[in-house]
A = this chain, B = another copy of it.
Amino acid sequence: MTKERLYLYDTTLRDGQQTQGVQFSTAEKQQIAKALDTLGVDYIEGGWPGANPTDSEFFETRPETKATFTAFGMTKRAGMSAENDDVLSAVLNAGTPAVCLVGKSHDFHVETALGITLAENTENISKSVAHIKAQGREALFDAEHFFDGYKANPEYAIEAAKAAYDAGARWVVLCDTNGGALPSEVTEAVNAVIAAGVPGDHLGIHTHNDTEHAVANSLAAVDAGARQIQGTLNGLGERCGNANLTTLIPMLLLKEPYASKFDTGVTHKALKDMTRISRMLDDVLNRVPTKQAAFVGASAFAHKAGLHASAILKDPTTYEHVDPSKVGNSRIIPMSNQAGQSNLRRRLSEAGIDVEKGNPALPRILEKIKEKEALGYSFDTAQASFELLARRELGLLPSYFEVKRYRVTVERRKNKRNKMVSLSEAVVVVKAGGEKRLSVSESMDETGSDRGPVNALAKALAKDLGPYQEYIDDMRLVDFKVRITQGGTEAVTRVIIDSVDGQGRQWSTVGVSANIVDASFEALVDATIWKLVRDGAQPIG
């Protein structure tokens, strides 16, 4: 049986940018667009040219993509021709192969929000779509509030959709703009539009998650015949977000009836990047990834219940609906339950530390991890700090150097040119190779700007470790994440530091303290010790 083609339209860079607190830079938009293209979506909606400086700049510098690059805008306003609508012109001037225009299909919005007649609105749709076609572009029409419109005035909602199709729109996208529609309503409305003469392979669905139905509504539309799905990575979007492509894509490739019925632009090979891409987006946004996210969440395949954990060890299908490796995720059996020890040994051997079953240090390590996690530490990501903790308990951690003390000064004052400038200075005193060594560094970078106290500390710590210097010279701090693990005045900060070295190794360490500088220093020291261990440095003096 030959499969039908189902098209994926990504609007992370447009509707996704409507997420409260999300503000993409042009560089970030480029990075995300490239990731989407690797994944294999069919359309990338880049934003609204002319609406804000970032979007305009992005279209001027947009990357080359296999996906059809699309600019978003709105249908022409009444009382002017499509040619003379400057807002529409700005969108067309972005020069994208495809243009998606949002327009009204709900009579209430036409008459209340726009204050024009239904006939005028229908004409705005036809004329705008025709204008895009005339420019040799692919035209898409987002029928805003379609499902609410269909409930209020089905004839008009369908007239609006039909007008776009008749004017030559490649896709008429039915939008549940307010996110209030339920699957049965979506099914009924899609059936009606198809019956009215807009073929399913010209129908798209755009949903929002205000009742946690964005994914279900998208699939209901596909079941009824629609062949394009609009969504965003990690379900970003206005209010509660858009349909989550990070969930929909795995479903379409892995779950029946979709897997055998449809082809999408996403291959099974690309699907293995799904988890990585999802986490990359969180990194860009500096968000903590949602642990419980479907398919890609860190907890999505975590089996905590004792009964589940033991069954999983016999046969993973007992408690997993899909194989985590297919989406690039992995199974977790949290340390906290009885399966903890075997799991711990697995994690240690991954780190090249083989511990025989029943070693008395194993329960001690689990205990330590629990204690530290209660204080705010997290060893899910900070694998290197986890290794050091385990080595310490196993008596496998040489003592290389001792930090005697450190002092960091952050100052802000007027400079000669009477301009307020800030500068940090760090003094670190260590005993290494039998000698006490004082190092001092400041936070100024090449460009002469202040990179702050942690930067100064990192430099001072790496400045003179005597006999170990050769091992740490190729080591570099590449990322720094801070999180308040406990709100309020008692705020406790968790700092996670990513380091790399000349051999291309990357490792993460963690520090926790009410004092953010102290938390950072703890992570920096761990990073340094891990590097010495990995390079097999011998303790001296």
Contact = CB atoms under 8 A, between A and B. Distances in A.
A53 interface: yes
B299 A378 contact: no
Interface stretch (A128-136, A354-362, A477-485): A477-485
A176 to B, nearest CB: 9
Interface in A285-312: 286, 288, 290-295, 297-308, 311
A451 B305 contact: no
Pick from A74, A489, A515 the residue with the most CB of B within 10 Å.
Answer: A515
Chain B CB count within 10 A is highest, among A178, A210, A373, for A210
B515 A452 contact: yes
B518 A452 contact: yes
Given A304-B20, A336-B23, A515 B241 contact: no
B482 A493 contact: yes
Contact of A286 (B113, B315, B484): B484
A294 B210 contact: yes
Given A21-B380, A380-B21, A454-B516, A240 B314 contact: no
Interface stretch (A118-126, A157-165, A318-326): A318-326
B514 A23 contact: no
A325 to B, nearest CB: 16
A95 interface: no
Interface in A372-422: 373-374, 378, 380-381, 403-414, 422
A464 to B, nearest CB: 18
A414 B404 CA distance: 8
Interface in A238-268: 238-241, 244, 247, 251, 255
Contacts of A406: 411-412
Nearest to A519: B452
A439 interface: no
Nearest to A52: B337
Contacts of A113: 311, 314-315, 318
Interface of A: 17-21, 23, 25, 51-54, 74, 108-109, 112-113, 177-180, 182-184, 209-216, 219-220, 223, 235, 238-241, 244, 247, 251, 255, 283-284, 286, 288, 290-295, 297-308, 311, 314-315, 318-322, 332, 334, 336-338, 370, 373-374, 378, 380-381, 403-414, 422, 424, 443, 449-455, 476-491, 493, 513-518, 521
19 contacts: A19-B292, A21-B334, A109-B318, A182-B219, A183-B216, A184-B223, A211-B247, A238-B302, A239-B300, A286-B483, A286-B485, A290-B290, A407-B411, A451-B490, A452-B493, A452-B513, A453-B515, A453-B516, A479-B487
